[in-house]
């Protein structure tokens, strides 16, 4: 796993926790999420921000497969973001979720909402393995997922992450081609919105 030295506390933090924080005097520092939030709290005059570091939690999906979620909270002035994500090779991968809260809010109350959100998402599978040599197929009539950039492609192409699984644009195209002649509705939502 790639570790980055936090210029705040001096600890080595995983790269997904690091933010390049630019202060008023134009100096940029690499800060872990706790040091980042502490800096923002100082600048925003918030003195009661709960900067508890949340430990990873394992949650099972509806197929009985266990997923480990890491949590990062960041204070952004008048709001707090709580991110939950899986990690693969030291980077965020698979399922990812975000909720937005109030700086006054209890971090464990936010964590409770997050766990509920994760459980709800993991209780449904949108794709299935047809098992007849046709590979992955859309299980029902709705697909929920996340748009990502496919770094393996030379030209800028998206890929999608459905059920915490990365699917190339080409494979996704093949999956929807079984609905030829049908209509579809594409709605793009902010990462913290209910999908």
Please tell me whether residue 6 binds Zn ion under the rule CB under 5 A: yes
In the chain, DSSP finds a helix count (H) and a strand count (E) of 3, 13
Residue of 165, 67, 75 whose CA lies nearest to 118: 67
| CB of 73 closer than 8 Å to CB of 80 | yes
Q: Which is nearer to Zn ion, 17 or 61 (CB)?
A: 17
Shortest Cβ distance from residue 5 to Zn ion (Å)?
Answer: 9
**Structure tokens belonging to residue 195:** 């999908």
Q: Which is nearer to Zn ion, 29 or 174 (CB)?
A: 29
Q: Which is nearer to Zn ion, 8 or 94 (CB)?
A: 8
Q: Which is nearer to Zn ion, 36 or 95 (CB)?
A: 36
| Helix residue ranges per DSSP H, the chain | 33-44, 107-122, 169-176
Please tell me whether residue 94 binds Zn ion under the rule CB under 5 A: no
Q: Which x/- pattern over 108-137 shows residues binding Zn ion (rule: CB under 5 A)?
A: ------------------------------
| CB of 114 closer than 8 Å to CB of 143 | no
Pairwise CA distance, residues 48 & 167, whole Å: 42
Residue of 126, 171, 168 whose CA lies nearest to 147: 168
Q: CB within 8 A of 23, min separation 6: which ones?
A: 29, 39
Q: Which stretch binds Zn ion (CB under 5 A): 5-13, 17-25, 42-50, 52-60?
A: 5-13
Q: Which x/- pattern over 8-47 shows residues binding Zn ion (rule: CB under 5 A)?
A: xx----------------------x--x------------
Shortest Cβ distance from residue 73 to Zn ion (Å)?
Answer: 14
Shortest Cβ distance from residue 104 to Zn ion (Å)?
Answer: 23
**Up-side HSE of residue 168: CA atoms within 13 Å toward CB?**
8
Shortest Cβ distance from residue 102 to Zn ion (Å)?
Answer: 24
Q: Which stretch binds Zn ion (CB under 5 A): 1-9, 40-48, 77-85, 98-106?
A: 1-9
Residue reference for tokens 């965020």: 92
Q: How many residues bind Zn ion (CB under 5 A)?
A: 5
Q: Which residues bind Zn ion (CB under 5 A)?
A: 6, 8-9, 32, 35
């Amino acid at each position: 796993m790639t570790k980055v030295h936090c210029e705040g506390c001096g600890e080595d933090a995983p790269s997904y926790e690091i933010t390049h924080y630019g202060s008023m005097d134009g100096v940029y520092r690499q800060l872990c999420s706790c040091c980042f939030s502490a800096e923002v709290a100082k600048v925003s005059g918030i003195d009661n921000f709960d900067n508890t570091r949340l430990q990873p939690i394992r949650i099972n999906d509806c197929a009985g497969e266990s997923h480990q979620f890491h949590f990062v909270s960041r204070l952004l002035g008048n709001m707090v973001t709580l991110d939950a994500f899986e990690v693969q090779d030291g980077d965020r991968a698979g399922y990812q979720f975000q909720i937005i809260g109030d700086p006054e809010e209890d971090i464990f109350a936010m964590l409770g909402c997050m766990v509920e959100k994760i459980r709800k998402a993991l209780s449904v599978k949108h794709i299935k393995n047809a098992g007849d040599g046709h590979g992955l197929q859309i299980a029902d009539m709705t697909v929920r997922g996340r748009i990502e950039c496919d770094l393996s492609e030379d030209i800028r192409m998206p890929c999608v992450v459905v059920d915490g699984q990365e699917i190339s644009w080409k494979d996704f195209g093949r999956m929807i081609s079984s609905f030829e002649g049908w209509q579809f509705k594409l709605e793009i939502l902010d990462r913290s919105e209910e999908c």
